[in-house]
C-alpha cells in the first residue's frame, strides 16, 4: 500500500491548526520563523515554517489584513497598470525580505483559497519588528482587506513619477 499524500489544502489546515493550538494554549512558541523561498505575489509567500527545532513544514502564507495588486489575475479594467503595481509591490517585498535578519509569522488561520495559511508576517531587523502589512499599506501598494469582497481600485493608483 502506497503512501497517502496530503493535498496542499490539507497541509495548510494542519499547519494552521498546529500553530493555532500553540497560540491558544499560551505556548512560548506562538511566533514561528518563516523561511521565504518564493514571493508568489506581494501578499503571498511560499516557504517553510519552523514549528519546533528540527521540525518544519512547507506552506504558502498570505499576509493577513491586506490585499495587493494581482500579478497573475489582474482586473479586466486596467490589467497592465495593475501588473506594474504588482511588480513594484513584489520588488519592495523582496527588498525588505532580503534586508531582514529573519521573518516571523504569527496568529495563523486557514485561508479560504488554494490551501494557504493566513497569518501576520513580521520583518525582524536587529531589535526592530515591522509588520509586512503595515509596510505595504504605508507604501500605497496595498489596501486593507478583511477576507471578504475585494474593493481595491488599482486603476486609480498612480505609478511613482506619474503626474
pLDDT 10s digits, 84-93: 999 999 999 9
pLDDT tens for 6-18 read 787 777 777 766 6
Q: What is the reported pTM?
A: 0.78
Question: Are 150 and 62 contacting, i.e. CB atoms less than 8 angstroms apart?
Answer: no
Q: List the grid coordinates of 163.
A: 503626474
118 CA to centre of own chain? 7
Residue of 6, 7, 13 lying closest to 117 (CA atoms): 13
Structural fold of domain 8-144: OB fold (Dihydrolipoamide Acetyltransferase, E2P) (2.40.50)
Q: List the grid coordinates of 22.
A: 500553540
Q: Is 50 exceeded by the pLDDT of residue 76?
A: yes
What residue segments make up the domains of the chain, in order of their start? 8-144
111 versus 98: which is more confidently predicted? Answer: 98
Amino acid at each position: 500500500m502506497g503512501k497517502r499524500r496530503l493535498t496542499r489544502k490539507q497541509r495548510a489546515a494542519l499547519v494552521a491548526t498546529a500553530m493555532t493550538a500553540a497560540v491558544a494554549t499560551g505556548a512560548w512558541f506562538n511566533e514561528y520563523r518563516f523561511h521565504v523561498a518564493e514571493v508568489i505575489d506581494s501578499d503571498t509567500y511560499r516557504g517553510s515554517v519552523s514549528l519546533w527545532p528540527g521540525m518544519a513544514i512547507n506552506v504558502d502564507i498570505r499576509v493577513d489584513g491586506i490585499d495587493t495588486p494581482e500579478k497573475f489575475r489582474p482586473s479586466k479594467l486596467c490589467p497592465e497598470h495593475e501588473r506594474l503595481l504588482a511588480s513594484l509591490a513584489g520588488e519592495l517585498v523582496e527588498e525588505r525580505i532580503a534586508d531582514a535578519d529573519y521573518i516571523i509569522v504569527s496568529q495563523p488561520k486557514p485561508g479560504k483559497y488554494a490551501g494557504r495559511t493566513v497569518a501576520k508576517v513580521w520583518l525582524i531587523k536587529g531589535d526592530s519588528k515591522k509588520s509586512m502589512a503595515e509596510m505595504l499599506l504605508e507604501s500605497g501598494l496595498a489596501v486593507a482587506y478583511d477576507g471578504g469582497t475585494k474593493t481595491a481600485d488599482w486603476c486609480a493608483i498612480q505609478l511613482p513619477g506619474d503626474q
